[in-house]
Amino acid sequence: MCGIVGYVGRAQAAPILLDGLRRLEYRGYDSAGIAVVDGGRLETRKCAGRIAALTQLMRKQPVSGSLGVSHTRWATHGKVTDQNAHPHFDASGKLALVHNGVIENYQALKDELIRSGDTNFRSETDTEVLAHLIGKLYDESCASTVDIPEKKARLLAAVRAALRQVIGTYGITLVHADIPDFMIGARRGSPLVLGVGDGENFLASDVSAIVAYTRDAVYLNDFDVVAAGRDKFEITSLAGDSTEHPVSKVEFTAEDIGKGDYPHYMLKEIFEQPNTVRDAMRGRLDPDECTAKLGGLNMTPPELRDVGRIVLTGCGTALHAGRVGEYLIERLANFPTDVEYASEFRHRNTPMTPETLVFAISQSGETADTLGALRESRRKGFRTLGICNNVASTIARESDGGVYMHAGPEIGVAATKSFTSQLAILTLLGLLFGRMRNLSATDGSRVIGALEALPGQIEAVLELSDQIKEIAKKYVDANGMLFFGRQFNFPVALEGALKMKEITYLFAEGHPSAELKHGVIALVRPDLPSVFIAPDDSVFSKNLNNIEQVKARKGPVIAVTSGNGPKHLKGIANEIIVLPEAPEYVMPILAVVPLQLLAYHLAVELCRDVDKPRNLAKSVTVE
C-alpha cells in the first residue's frame, strides 16, 4: 500500500523522488521520507504528514546527489511519527531502506539481532529490523579494503541472505552510502517495477510514479532481486540465478494521470465513465452472433460450455461488482454463481466442484487478499481467471487468462470508474455464457443494444451533477445515510454506502430493501436519510412499499428511479433523481453514478480530502 520511488542516474535525485511520491500519494499518506547518497554521505529528510510537509522540510533543508530512495507510508507496524517514517537504516546508519509489505517474523529477527549485540533501534517498525539484518550481514562480509565492485556483490548477497530469513511480504529498495551509483530492489507479494531510462534507472511500487521519465518498464516477479546502476541492471532470483524479463512499454502517459480541469481525481474519474464503459466493451460485442467475444479467457467453446458454476471473488468495491455479477450471470446464463470475500476464500474449505470457474476481480491486480485467493484456487487445480485494470499486474500474470478493463489509471482512492467497468465486463460474461446455454439470439441482441446505449445514458446521468450537489447541501448535517436496493441494485446500495463511508466519514449502511422491516427500521429517524435505488422495474412496487414505511416514521427519502417512478414517488420521496430507462441487468451501471456524485458532493461540502480519505490507501497490498 505504501509508495516507493528509487533513482540512480546523472540528474539530481531529490526532485525526481519527490515528484514520484506526489504521484504515489494515493497509496499512503501517513508520513514520507527521502534518503540521498552524496559523496559517501547519506542525507535523510522525513516527517509525519503528507508529501507537502516533506517538500516544505526539504526547501528548508535541501539535499543533493544522484542516488536515492523515497517512500510515502500507510502505517502498519508502529504509530504515525517522524521516527516511524521511512527510510529506515541499519546500525551503521549507512544503509537506507524503504519497504512496502509486512515482515511477519520481525520480532523473532529483532530478538536475534539484540542477542547479537545490535540494540540501536530507533523506530517501532518491522522495516527497520530488515534494514539492520541486511546491514549486519553486509558488514560481517565486507572489509573496508574491498573495492566497489566487490562491495556491490557482497551487498547483493547480504540482501538475498536476509530475505531468505523473512516470513511475510515485501517490496523493498535500498542504497548504501559507501557504494555510489548502485541501487537494489526486491519483491515478494508486493509490487515493484523497474523503469529503464537513458543513463538512469528507477524503481517504484507503481509505474505511475515514473512514467513522466520513462515508459520502458520491467515488472518484477515474486522472489526477483534487481541490482541497478546508471547504465545497466541485472535481475536475479533469490537464489542468485539470472532471470530474463521483457521490457514493456507503458500504455499511458503522465498526462493521463493528471486531474485536468477537475478539482479532484474522483470527480474526473466519475466523469470519465462514458468512455471507460465504452472501452471495456470495445471490440467485445458480436452483433452477428448476438454474443460477446472474450478471447482473453483462453478457453475453447467446449471448455466454456462445460463450466457448471462460477465463483467471483474480490474485496471492497470489486466484491460489490461481483455481487452484481452473481445476479447478472444467474439471470442471463441460468447457472449457479457465488461470491466470496477474497480475504475469507483462501482460509475457508469452500466446496468446489470440478466444473467450477473462478474469477478474481481487482482494479490494481495487486490486492493481497485477492491474489491470495487466486493462488489458493489455482493450487487446488481450478481454472482461475482475472478481471483487472493493469495488464502487467501480478493477478494478470498469474491467472490462467482473463479480461482487462481498459479503464486507464484510477488515482482517486474511492473506486468509481473501475466499478462500472467491472460491471460492464460481468455483463459481457453473462451474455457469453447465456448464449451458450439458454439465451436466444433475440434476447442476446437486446442485451447488446442495452450495452451499446450505456455510454450515452451515463452522460445523461452526469448532467444531473448540479441537482445532486444541491441535494448534498440539504443533507450536510445528516448523521449518516441508509442505502436500500433490491435484486440487481442491492449490491449498488452496498457500493453507495461504501462510497459515503470512504470519503465523508459518515455512518452508512447498505441493505436489501426488504430487510428494512427485519430490524433496520429501528434506525429510521428524521436526521438519517434513506437512499432508495428504486428504478421502474419488476420490484418497483415492493420498493415503493418500503419507502412508505420509512416516510411513516419521518425518515427523509432520496429516491433514485426511472420511467414512471417519479409519478408514483411524487409527494412521498423528499428528493427524486431520475435515470434513463434501461433493462434491469444494466441498471446498476447507471444507478451507481448518482450515488458516487452524492458522496462526492457531500464530502466536498464537509471539507473532506476527497482523493486521500483518512486511514485509506488505493491499492491494498498487505493483509
Averaged over 404-411, what is the pLDDT?
Answer: 91
Q: What does the alpha-carbon distance between residue 133 and residue 110 come to, in Å, rounded to a whole number?
A: 8
Q: Please, what is the average pLDDT of the chain?
A: 93
Classify domain 3-256 at the CATH superfamily level.
Answer: Aminohydrolase, N-terminal nucleophile (Ntn) domain (3.60.20.10)
Average pLDDT over residues 466-471: 98
Helices 587-605 & 490-504, crossing angle to 10 degrees? Answer: 20
What is the average pLDDT across 173-188?
Answer: 96
- Taking the C-alpha atoms of residue 564 and residue 582, their distance in angstroms, rounded to an integer, is 12
C-alpha–C-alpha distance, residues 351 and 373, integer Å: 14
**Locus of grid cell 453473462:** 430
pLDDT of residue 392: 82
pLDDT at 441 (0 to 100)? 96
Q: Give the CATH architecture of domain 464-612.
A: 3-Layer(aba) Sandwich (3.40)
Is residue 255 over pLDDT 80?
no
What residue type is assigned to position 485 of the chain?
A: G
At 447 the three-state DSSP class reads helix
Instruction: Tell me which of 71-80, 375-384, 441-450, 567-576 is least confident.
Output: 71-80
Measuring CA to CA, which residue among 354, 334, 274, 376 is closest to residue 593? Answer: 274
Short-list 306, 315, 308, 382, CA closest to 342: 315
In the block, cell 446505449 appears at: 453
2 classed as catalytic:
yes
Alpha helices in 523-611 (DSSP H): 540-551, 565-569, 587-605
- In this prediction, residues 48-68 reach a mean pLDDT of 94
DSSP symbol at 83: T
- Grid coordinates representing 202 are 528507477
Tell me the three cell numbers of residue 546. Answer: 418500503
Q: Count CA atoms closer than 13 A to 106's CA, side-chain side.
A: 21
Residue pair 309/333 in contact by the 8 Å Cβ criterion: no
Instruction: Give the CA distances from residue 528 to residues 278, 472, 495, 570, in Å, rounded to whole numbers and listed in that order.
Output: 36, 13, 18, 20
CA dist., res. 158 & res. 182, Å (int): 14
Confidence of residue 531 (pLDDT cuts 50, 70, 90): very high
The pTM for the full model equals 0.87
Residue 362 C-alpha cell reads as: 481487482
Q: What is the mean pLDDT of residues 125-129?
A: 94
| 3-256 and 258-456 agree in CATH topology | no
- Give percent of the chain with pLDDT exceeding 90: 81
**Which of 94, 417, 501, 618 is an active site residue?**
618
Over residues 332-342, the mean pLDDT reads: 94
> Cα 51–57–59 angle (5° rounding)?
105
How many Cα neighbours within 13 Å face the side chain of 208?
A: 22
Please state the domain extents for the chain.
Answer: 3-256, 258-456, 464-612
Checking if the pLDDT of 618 tops 70, the result is no
Q: Which of 2, 142, 290, 388 is catalytic?
A: 2
Do residues 35 and 44 touch, judged by C-beta distance below 8 A?
A: yes
44 contacts 84 by C-beta, under 8 angstroms = no
* pLDDT > 70? residue 621: no
pLDDT at 201 over 70: yes
Beta bridge pairs of residue 278: none
Overall average pLDDT of the 375-387 stretch: 94
Neighbouring C-alpha atoms within 13 Å toward the C-beta of 514: 8
Which of the four pLDDT bands, split at 50, 70 and 90, describes residue 143?
low
Helix/strand/coil percent split, the chain, to 5: 40, 20, 40
DSSP state of 112: H
Lowest model confidence (mean pLDDT) among 24-33, 218-227, 383-392: 24-33
* Amino acid 619: pLDDT: 65
* Alpha carbons 561 and 584: distance in angstroms, whole number: 12
The answer to whether residue 1 scores a pLDDT higher than 80 is no
Is residue 290 part of the annotated active site? The answer reads no
What are the Cα distances from residue 521, in Å, to 151, 492, 547, 558? Answer: 69, 20, 11, 16
Q: Quick one: CA dihedral 583, 585, 588, 589, positive or negative?
A: negative
In one letter, which amino acid is 83? Answer: Q
Write out the H or E segment, with its range, that includes residue 95: strand 95-100
What CA–CA distance (Å, rounded) separates 134 from 574? 63
Q: Say whether domain 258-456 belongs to CATH 3.40.50.10490.
A: yes
* 201/229 Cα distance (integer angstroms): 7
pLDDT range class, residue 348, cuts 50, 70, 90 = confident
- What is the distance between the alpha carbons of residues 377 and 365, in angstroms, rounded to a whole number? 16
Q: Return the amino acid letter for 495.
A: E
How far apart CA 357 and CA 307 sit, in angstroms, is: 6
pLDDT over 80 at 32, yes or no: yes
- 129-133: list long-range contacts, CB under 8 Å, 24+ apart: 129/103, 130/88, 130/97, 130/99, 130/103, 130/106, 130/162, 130/166, 130/170, 130/172, 131/88, 131/89, 131/90, 131/95, 131/96, 131/97, 131/174, 132/90, 132/91, 133/109, 133/162, 133/165
